[in-house]
Amino acid sequence: MASMVEVVHDGNIYDLHNDFDAISITHDISANSLELVWHRSAIPNGSGCEYIRLQFFKLSVLSIRGVDSETPRREDARLSFMGYARPEDEQLNGFLPEELGDATCHMIIAFEGGIALKIFASEARLIIK
């Protein structure tokens, strides 16, 4: 991650808060995997990227908090932050920045509309298309 809303791939920085909208969160129970997909919402900055997929495999932790009924539904697609939490941290509202996390930390991904995920997996992949 480049920041709490950006990912880096092959030297390119992708802003998932300002330039992309989340379009799906898919949990495959039989495969024990999770996939989040973002589609570019802003004018491309020359990267040519239209979709970003963040995939997690061999999940050992998956916690999901639902939408905030007081927030407009259009905010469900906008990333609020990505960060890390210690395994004992139950809250999905805060996070540690990447430099303070370690291999035991769980990943937190939260959206402006209230949806938040806490993830710990053996493998993660970032796919840029």
Series of mean pLDDT values for 10-residue runs along the chain (129 residues): 85 93 97 97 71 98 92 91 92 84 93 96 96
The reported pLDDT for the residue numbered 77 is 95
In angstroms, what CA-CA distances link 122 with 27, 40, 104? 15, 28, 11
How high is the pLDDT of residue 19? 93
- So what's the pLDDT on residue 45? 58
Question: What is the rounded CA–CA span in Å between residue 69 and residue 91?
Answer: 19
Residue 93: per-residue pLDDT: 80
Give every strand in the sheet of 51-65, ordered side by side. 20-28, 33-40, 51-65, 116-128, 106-111, 79-85
pLDDT of amino acid 42: 73
CA–CA distance, 111 with 129 (Å, rounded to integer): 22
Number of residues that this document lists for the chain: 129
3 state SS of 71: coil
Q: Please tell me whether residue 42 adopts helix, strand or coil conformation.
A: coil
For residue 47, the model assigns a pLDDT of 58
pLDDT for the residue 90? 86
pLDDT of residue 113: 95
CB 104 within 8 A of CB 86: yes
Instruction: Identify the burial level of 95 via C-beta atoms within 10 angstroms of its C-beta, where 0-12 means exposed, 13-18 middle and 19 or more buried.
Output: buried
